[in-house]
């Protein structure tokens, strides 16, 4: 009863502040997020072996369309792709006119079974197939533009998952990247995958794995969410934990949509923020106009099953800090803490969202029952890399063996063992794209 009274008093105080200052402004969520509300996806995990259930005439038509669209990228793979069925291709890499699903059904099914039960089995198969991995292919890829190699293997993956439903296809490819990373960098299999990175003869297989992981977790997938990650952190916050989203920017839409209301974001909010989230309107999340920097401003979110408002209840400036944008240009930014109160039906206070504008520090990665650390894959990859390599310089030795960091794109949290494997991979002379793209 006392707790409810305190929350009611706080809400009334916020309301009176709005009426008293005259500076408050109200926006709709669309005003902040714009296209973000349309092109950000939340993908449910797909059991990769279940793709066998989609091997029908629709798949065959999708296969033909995808091959025709990506034929130039796939021309080097025609000898290997013929493994799926001798009648697939005729001369010059053209698809055969009598393409028959029955002929290649079992081969596709075998690949999905490998991916669904043990992705290492597929990597081993590719390593031992001379049409996928040989000295000529390796040298050709070494001397090719990295993007051309990535596009080659992306196109191959799109062939494998050529179901007609675009969102379902995206979910399968997202899951493929998730499961490859889970297998390749896991404590159980890292030594095996490490051998692919160390052995030049196996580099085509490593490039395939890296192309899929990078594209669907970072290059294309940086903006997307794994529904399993959302569900996991939702359960934690429902039991009283605060979600600490390191380098989260203004990426709160999916969290609020899924009724996660206690969020603490640590981010320097570089001037390039609008390129990734919500054009120049992102700055309103930090501070508004007037002598009180927009206290009392509100944002209305109208989701299908619930409606909430966020009211700016506090803003404090804590000095300044130096930063560099992606061009290397130095900038001086205000350090500040902005608090928004999340309000539901009948004025009920549901939680608060805090934007702490600064760079992350070592202590920010401490986890506990009441503190869930959350990151996007790209930022997780950089966090524990040395600054000389473009990383953040966090000390991995100070991370507890039992700590889990939940990742926006993954079905599972990463622990110290995964982070150690990432650091070991960076020390290997494997000249290809880093799984973490350039920091911005």
- What does the pLDDT read at residue 218? 96
> 82 pLDDT exceeds 80?
yes
- DSSP string covering 367-408: -BTTEEEEE-HHHHHHHTS-GGGTS----GGGS-TT--EEET
Residue 219 CA: distances (Å) to CA of 22, 39, 45, 150, 384: 44, 14, 19, 11, 20
∠ CA(350), CA(353), CA(354), 5° rounding? Answer: 145
∠ CA(333), CA(391), CA(375), 5° rounding? Answer: 80
- What does the pLDDT read at residue 438? 54
Residue 33 confidence class, pLDDT cut points 50, 70, 90: confident
Strand 307-324, strand 298-302: pairing? antiparallel
> 201 pLDDT exceeds 70?
yes
- What does the pLDDT read at residue 356? 98
Residue 323 CA: distances (Å) to CA of 126, 320, 408: 44, 10, 25
- DSSP string covering 115-159: HHH-HHHHHHHHHH-TTTS-HHHHHHHHTS-HHHHHHHHHHHHHH
What number is the average pLDDT over the span 33-47?
85
Distance CA 134, CA 361 (A): 45
Which DSSP state fits 330?
Answer: E
> Is 294 in a helix, a strand, or coil?
coil
Containing 319, the helix (H) or strand (E) segment is strand 307-324
What number is the average pLDDT over the span 31-35?
72
Which DSSP state fits 96?
Answer: P
Rounded to two decimals, the pTM is 0.91
What number is the average pLDDT over the span 161-181?
96
State what percent of residues in the chain have pLDDT above 70.
Answer: 88
CB atoms within 10 A of CB 130: 11
How do the domains of the chain map onto residue ranges?
28-35+225-426, 43-223
Residues 323-349 pLDDT 10s: 887 777 889 999 999 999 999 998 999
Q: Inter-axis angle of helices 135-142 and 203-214, to 10 degrees?
A: 50
């Amino acid at each position: 009863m006392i707790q409810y009274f305190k929350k009611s008093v706080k809400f009334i105080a916020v309301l009176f502040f709005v009426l008293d200052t005259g500076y408050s402004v109200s926006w709709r969520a669309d005003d902040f997020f714009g296209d973000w509300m349309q092109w950000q996806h939340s993908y449910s995990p797909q059991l990769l072996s279940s793709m066998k259930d989609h091997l029908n005439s629709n798949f065959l038509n999708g296969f033909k369309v995808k091959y025709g669209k990506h034929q130039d990228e796939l021309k080097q793979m025609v000898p290997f792709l013929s493994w799926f069925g001798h009648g697939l291709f005729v001369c010059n890499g053209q698809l055969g006119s009598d393409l028959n699903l029955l002929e290649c059904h079992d081969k596709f099914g075998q690949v999905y079974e490998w991916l669904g039960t043990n992705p290492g089995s597929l990597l081993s198969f590719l390593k031992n197939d001379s049409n996928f991995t040989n000295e000529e292919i390796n040298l050709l890829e070494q001397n090719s533009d990295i993007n051309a190699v990535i596009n080659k293997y992306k196109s191959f993956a799109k062939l494998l998952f050529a179901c007609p439903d675009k969102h379902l296809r995206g979910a399968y490819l997202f899951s493929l990247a998730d499961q490859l990373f889970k297998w390749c960098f896991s404590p159980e299999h890292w030594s095996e995958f490490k051998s692919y990175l160390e052995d030049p003869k196996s580099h085509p297989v490593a490039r395939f794995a890296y192309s899929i992981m990078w594209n669907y977790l970072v290059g294309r997938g940086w903006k997307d969410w794994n529904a399993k990650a959302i569900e996991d952190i939702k359960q934690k916050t429902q039991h009283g934990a605060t979600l600490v989203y390191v380098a989260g920017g203004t990426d709160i839409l999916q969290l609020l949509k899924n009724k996660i209301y206690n969020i603490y974001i640590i981010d320097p909010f570089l001037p390039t923020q609008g390129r990734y989230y919500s054009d120049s309107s992102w700055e309103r999340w930090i501070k508004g106009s007037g002598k009180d920097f927009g206290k009392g401003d509100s944002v209305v979110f109208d989701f299908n099953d619930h409606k909430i408002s966020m009211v700016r209840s506090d803003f404090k400036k804590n000095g300044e800090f130096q930063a560099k944008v992606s061009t290397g240009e130095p900038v001086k930014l205000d350090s500040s803490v902005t608090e928004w109160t999340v309000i539901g039906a009948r004025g009920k206070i549901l939680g608060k969202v805090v934007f702490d504008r600064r760079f992350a520090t070592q202590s920010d990665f401490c986890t506990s029952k009441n503190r869930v650390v959350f990151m996007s894959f790209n930022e997780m990859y950089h966090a524990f890399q040395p600054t000389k390599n473009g990383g953040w310089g966090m000390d991995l030795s100070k991370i507890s063996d039992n700590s889990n960091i939940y990742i926006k794109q993954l079905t599972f949290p990463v622990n110290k063992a995964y982070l150690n494997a990432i650091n070991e991979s960076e020390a290997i002379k494997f000249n290809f794209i880093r799984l973490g793209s350039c920091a911005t």
